[in-house]
Chains A and B, each alone.
Chain A
Amino acid sequence: MALANSDLNAALAVTRFGLGARPGEIAQAAQDPRGWLTAQIQPRGVASPDGVPPAGQRLAELRDYQMSVREMRQDRRQDGQAPATPPGPDAGAPPGRPERDPVTFARRLLREETGGDFMARLRLACATPDSFAERWALFFANHFTVSATKLATATVVGPFESEAIRPHVFGRFGDLLDAAESHPAMLLYLDQAQSIGPDSPLARRAAFAARKRSPGLNENLAREILELHTVGVNGGYSQADVTEFARALTGISLPGPREAQIAAQPVVFRPMAHEPGARTILGVRYGQEGRAQAQAVLRDLAAKPATARFVCGKIARHFVVDDPPPALTGRLEAAWTRSGGDLAQVAQALVTAPEAWSPQPAKFKTPYEFIVSCHRAVGAGPTGLDKVAPILTALGQRPFSAPSPKGWPEDAEAWAAPDAIVKRMQYAQAFAAVVARSRDPSAIAAEALGARLTPATATAVARAETRPEGLALLLMSPEFQRR
């Protein structure tokens, strides 16, 4: 049954490796399912969402906002009023109520821009014909998580993905690592921007000036690079390695207001804040001066076998199954090692691995994947943030706001709590009520799942009392919830 097999592989290519089938897409892939995937592996990277501005522009807006907050506080102090407490990072007036406070208004505009970036990314995911490449980019955006849980990082999460992630995801891992760790969004998210060498000229000068708080080291970025971005928690590093790496990273920061006026770069290296001297990390001595020191450490980390093992394991878990067979991760690691960490080669190895084409769907869709695939199934795009943000938040995947630097969880158990299934059902019901009035749900089912559609689901959809009920059943069917 060569033909049936190719039909099934086409459905797997589009719904497992990709983000779900748009009408006609499985038929297009049926000619050559693997070719459909490999054609998306392009050295130039993965297309970025439309309309996301450079990080530098967002950071300039953020500085303006922060300066106006400072000025307003000063004014109030001079007027003898109580100083204004800036609202918490998630504050915002309820929609529809005019703002009287200009600071709150400015903050809301920044928040709305983040919402706009998220919607641009969601629209791309719902419409792209290259949904395997998009999934690949989303995987690495999650690997190098920057979360919008702080206002400052919220403004640059979108630009971070466009600038640091998407151009590099089919290039060398070392280049991707360098781009991600030196992007202002990461420096802000993992507190690197403020970290200062304890024996740097800047720290000594501050100590001399007897400031209330003497500046110094922050080891957050160093630890998470090791634990989450490269060798992984079993990568054999110690607390001393973390601290030494944090010292090597000092000096990499964001420009202050005055520096920003002189140079337009969003990231600066301050030799004055860099911890002088050689560092020893994972048994290797780094004698370089200045920024070259941290870059040398990153280069070595990218080349470690432990990094290949850790990242390839995550790729296998994301694309194929929560508990991947060693044969699959072995193939990915071999491709990584052979090519010196060329992610295009790793993607090729994934696409040609027989373990990745098991007919049994093993992955339960995350809330984002579920919402994207619902829209793709009916060939539509999302209509507004207010339609998608509440359900994503209720399902535990608030837009751009992963709960920690580890990113979103990968396993089915995390997403398939009883409460979440009921909420998915309610979303499917509401979604179907809007789109299904004039469409045949059985036809949508055939297009969306192809050969993966089971007789039980096909029958249930066909027997539905109303079209919305039929579509809701399709969207909630076991095979649509998985990939």
Chain B
Amino acid sequence: MTAPLPSRRGVLALGAAFGLSLQMLARPAAAAGRDQRKLVVVICRGGMDGLTLAPPVGDPDYAGLRGAIALGPEALKLDATFALNPALASVHALALAGQARIAPAIATPDRARSHFEAQDVLESGAAAVYGAPSGWLNRAVQTLGAQRKVAALSVGPTAPLLLRGPAPYASWSPGRVVDASARLPTLLQDLYKTDPLLGPALARGLATETMAQEAMTGIATPTTAAMGGEAAPRPQAQGREAARQLGQTLAGFMREAGGPNIAALSLDGFDTHANEGAAQGQLATRLGYLDAVLDGLHAGLGPDWKDTVVLVATEFGRTARVNGTGGTDHGTASTALLLGGGLKPGGIIGDWPTLKASALFENRDVAPTLDMRSLFKGVLAEQMGVARADLERAVFPGSAQAPPLTGLV
């Protein structure tokens, strides 16, 4: 394989080593007269524990339910009830500036507590499992594409359902260099002329690579030191640095003329059945990576941050009680994050059902008070200008009982 540039190899190797993957959805757009509004969707896979992401430390039942994994005064205060995990220092700083909000009791319409069903519903945007073969973000790109130039891109080795569908998308992940003038790509494009899968895929892959090379140029990358120069930092710090660079790289793409204005990115490893930890530990490490990605995006977008919204969601939350192995099992509602330079002021998004025994869903989970689709629809409408009729008909069919939230952006 052609040797990748050291900076890219650094990003790739570290990213891969810590289970980070990145996806963006894309269609090349003309640079002229371009709409500046941007949307990034981050999916945290495995069922992220909302109660450790944004602990309701002021809820009288919280500490008792959570036992050894309850967070205390070390949590970063948001209001009288909620705080953020100390691993989310960058998100906290944004929240204090009115640029980040939490939705603490949000869920998809799925109640099966299966990762795979819940991720399907989360990404397809359908009312029930396997209700749509494409992703809602792809359908949003399709409807927007009918009105204006929309550009998006998939970064990551495999294509997530969120991005699959009728709107064509390219994909990219760090770590390679293609000599576009070489004969092989040309010969292969000829061989793939009539191949419905490989032909378009190769063409898009090659087109994206050209854009990627431009986007990567000029991004300062201190990874060579992080890769094992003298006094190599601890692995967790390396992971954070890699995550921050992924965020920054993505921001670099999005600031390119003709770069994507819709992107999706996913982080793995949130299935914390055992030894979950609290301010430190397994989940806090993952939250630290999430925080670093978001911080990288915020820093990298610079002046464009004011035109950007970032959504962070997971397929389901976890049990309100700590389980027998210092972790939590599959639950229902969790916490979503909404970030952006142009958010409207407001407290939590949706209602807090509290953790009273009588309020728990099926006597075990945080009860959902907000349908995930309401948040997605609200963001698509207010941030990206997707028409209400398109939202109901094409993007989230069968979601009448989940009206779009307003007053977000």
Q: Which residues of A contact B (CB under 8 A)?
A: 85, 87-88, 90-91, 93-94, 97, 149, 190-191, 194-196, 198, 203, 212-220, 223, 227, 233, 239, 242, 364, 390-391, 393-396, 398, 403-404, 406, 409, 412-423, 425-427, 429-430, 456-457, 460, 464-465, 469, 472-473, 476-478, 481
Contacts and interface: CB of A to CB of B under 8 A. Distances in A.
B329 A220 contact: yes
Given A406-B116, A418-B205, A481 B198 contact: yes
A216 B319 CA distance: 14
A88 B285 contact: yes
A186 B237 CA distance: 31
A481 B274 CA distance: 40
Contacts of A465: 183
Contacts of B185: 425
Nearest to A470: B187
B273 interface: yes
Contact of A478 (B18, B170, B198, B330): B198
A247 to B, nearest CB: 11
Interface size class of B (residues with CB under 8 A): 35 or more
B162 to A, nearest CB: 12
B314 interface: no
A403 B158 CA distance: 11
Contact of B158 (A406, A414, A430): A414
Nearest to A91: B235
Contacts, number: 195
Given A213-B326, A218-B323, A417 B171 contact: yes
Given A194-B325, A426-B2, A478-B198, 16 more contacts: A90-B17, A94-B232, A223-B113, A233-B129, A396-B156, A403-B268, A416-B197, A417-B158, A418-B171, A419-B157, A419-B208, A421-B198, A426-B178, A427-B1, A465-B183, A472-B184
A218 B324 contact: yes
A233 B116 contact: yes
A273 B94 CA distance: 47
Nearest to B116: A406
Contact of A216 (B17, B234, B323): B323
Given A233-B112, A404-B271, A419-B156, A215 B197 contact: no
B16 interface: yes
A403 B129 CA distance: 21
A217 B178 CA distance: 51
Interface of B: 1-2, 12, 16-19, 21, 45-46, 67-68, 112-117, 129, 154-159, 164, 169-173, 175-176, 178, 183-185, 187-188, 190-192, 195, 197-198, 200-206, 208-209, 227-228, 232, 234-236, 239, 268-269, 271, 273-274, 285, 322-327, 329-330, 362
Contact of A364 (B158, B176, B197, B208): B197
B329 A219 contact: yes
Nearest to A96: B228
A304 B24 CA distance: 42
23 contacts: A88-B235, A93-B232, A94-B227, A149-B269, A213-B326, A220-B273, A227-B114, A233-B117, A390-B1, A391-B1, A394-B12, A396-B156, A403-B45, A417-B205, A418-B205, A419-B172, A421-B198, A422-B178, A422-B202, A425-B184, A425-B188, A427-B1, A460-B191
Contacts of B184: 425, 429, 469, 472-473, 476
B324 A194 contact: yes
A429 to B, nearest CB: 6
Given A223-B330, A403-B268, A406-B116, A419 B323 contact: no
A473 B187 contact: yes
B223 to A, nearest CB: 12
Nearest to A459: B191
B243 to A, nearest CB: 13
A182 B176 CA distance: 42
B325 to A, nearest CB: 4
A395 B156 CA distance: 9
Nearest to A401: B19
Nearest to A418: B205
Contact of A422 (B17, B205, B324, B327): B205
B159 A218 contact: no
A394 B157 contact: yes
Task: Output the residue of A415, A423, A427 with the most chain B CB within 10 A.
Answer: A423
A217 B323 contact: yes
Nearest to B21: A396
Contact of B324 (A94, A196, A396, A398): A196
Contacts of A422: 176, 178, 202, 205-206, 209
Contacts of A239: 113, 362
B260 to A, nearest CB: 13
B228 A396 contact: no
Contacts of A469: 183-184, 187
Contact of B46 (A212, A233, A404, A476): A404
B71 to A, nearest CB: 15
A90 B191 contact: no
10 pairs of A and B residues whose beta carbons are closest in the complex = A216-B324, A396-B157, A418-B205, A94-B228, A422-B205, A91-B235, A418-B204, A396-B158, A419-B171, A194-B325
Task: Output the residue of A398, A406, A476 with the most chain B CB within 10 A.
Answer: A476
A422 B201 CA distance: 8
B386 to A, nearest CB: 24
B273 A460 contact: no
A87 B325 contact: no
Task: Output the residue of B170, B178, B273 with the most chain A CB within 10 A.
Answer: B273
Nearest to B328: A218
A191 B273 contact: yes
Contacts of B158: 396, 409, 414-415, 417, 420
A428 to B, nearest CB: 8
